[in-house]
Amino acid sequence: MIDIKQIRINPDIVRENIRKKFQFEKLPLVDEVISLDSKIRKIKTESDKLRNERNKASSQIGLLMKEKKVDEANQIRQNVVIINDKLAINDISKEEISTRIKTIMMTIPNIIDDSVPIGRNDSENVEIKKYLLPKAKDFEIPYHLDIIEKIGGIDLDNARKVAGNGFYYLIGDFARLHSAVLSYAQDFMINKGFTYCIPPFMIRSGVVNGVMSFAEMDAMMYKIEGEDLYLIGTSEHSMIGKFIDTILEKKELPYTYTSYSPCFRKEKGAHGIEERGIYRIHQFEKQEMIIVCEPTDSKNWFEKLYNYTVELFTSMEIPVRTIECCSGDLADLKVKSIDVEAWSPRQQKYFEVGSCANLGDAQARRLGIRIKGEESNYFAHTLNNTVVAPPRMLIAILENHLNKDGSVNIPSVLRPYMGGKKLINTNN
């Protein structure tokens, strides 16, 4: 959410930003905010004037009563009643207008960084750099689900009976590999100086509205029926929510967390061959990076975060590339975003395995996360990045470390987490 002062002082910048994101239908909202903001400020001015009149009237009533001029005092009391009625009407109008302004302001997209490439959708995202050369395979790479089933690592049929589509049972060495990836990722980030955290897996609506847009919430979040609780789609949600309505001391910044959680997502609209298996699912586990920092430090942290993901993947000998998200592909709260994509030998293309986002002060403004300043308090900046989400990470490991006989080499950095095991063998 941007500062309403930006619309008051320079609405053209806000309009241009909306155009850059190709959200032309939102352009009238800027004029609506300007009009509503003018109305509410007039109401406030009028209310202040009425309160001054009421205060003067109250003083007059006191003096008249001392002088035993009851009739004159009662006449002024009637005027006070009229003033109170007007103030009550103004308060209702002010509340209605404020609610509408807040709704609009949470819909208008955040001002993107000048370096963001302009494009309509993810087809116009820009490749930044490739890391590690893909190794050629002299055999055909099966679909990841076929690889997992051959090694006896998954049970989808019984999961469907228990929970429906989009769920699975992980079994044996494949389940161990899943846990090994998470354990390695946790240690990797701790060694980078991050504090490990396991957050609540449910959050209240006030936090949901603070960390994401309405469109994202509708597409992702599962609501707990009868309660003001939602299942988290990523630990970023509850980790940023941890700081709601707080004033942070500068000396304690930055806060650098690496958080683990299960994630629950509706995945509305997910379909097709690449969603079969474990690429798009309703429940998975994830390791995340979270930063709460000074506004002047957020650009540097952004660079560090996505490079940590690159380092993690290449340490497992998985080729990756970084992609700059274009303006039309950025979620409304994001200032800038870079995706990390892993090489798929089967598809002969890269696929997303992580996303790094600088949200500027958008989440902090919504949640009231401020830094104590010498003259006045100001909003912090927040960032998040995927360390690893094992379902997609596992696909990358399977395809890049698959042998011709169907066995899978375990990356050397993961072997200590699997009792020294070097190979996952097939059932055959």
71 within domain boundaries: yes
Task: Name the domain count of the chain.
Answer: 2
Residue in the block written with tokens 């941890």: 242
pLDDT of amino acid 428 = 43
Q: Are residues 149 and 71 in the same domain?
A: no
Q: What is the mean pLDDT of residues 104-121?
A: 94
In angstroms, the CA 28 to CA 8 distance is: 15
Asked which of 47, 79, 105 is the last residue of a domain, the reply is 105
In percent, how much of the chain has pLDDT > 90?
71
116 within domain boundaries: no
115 within domain boundaries: no
Q: Are residues 382 and 246 in the same domain?
A: yes
Q: Are residues 127 and 60 in the same domain?
A: no
Helix (H) or strand (E) holding 385: strand 381-388
Average pLDDT of the chain? Answer: 91
pLDDT of amino acid 74 = 82
CATH number at residue 230: 3.30.930.10
113 within domain boundaries: no
Query: 220, 233 in Cβ contact below 8 A?
Result: yes
Kindly report the pTM of this predicted structure: 0.88
In angstroms, the CA 308 to CA 256 distance is: 13
Range of the domain at 76: 4-105
Quick one: residue 383, left, alpha or beta (phi over 0 = left, psi -120 to 50 = alpha)? beta
Helix (H) or strand (E) holding 338: strand 336-344
CATH number at residue 89: 1.10.287.40
110 within domain boundaries: no
Burial per residue of 257-266, b for 16 or more beta-carbon CB atoms within 10 angstroms, e otherwise: bbbbbebbbe
Q: Are residues 217 and 277 in the same domain?
A: yes
Q: What is the pLDDT of residues 262-321, one digit of tens each?
A: 999 887 555 443 456 677 788 889 999 999 999 999 999 999 999 999 999 999 999 999
By the 10 Å C-beta count (0-12 exposed, 13-18 middle, 19+ buried), 418 is classed as middle
The SS3 assignment for 256 reads: strand
Q: Are residues 139 and 76 in the same domain?
A: no
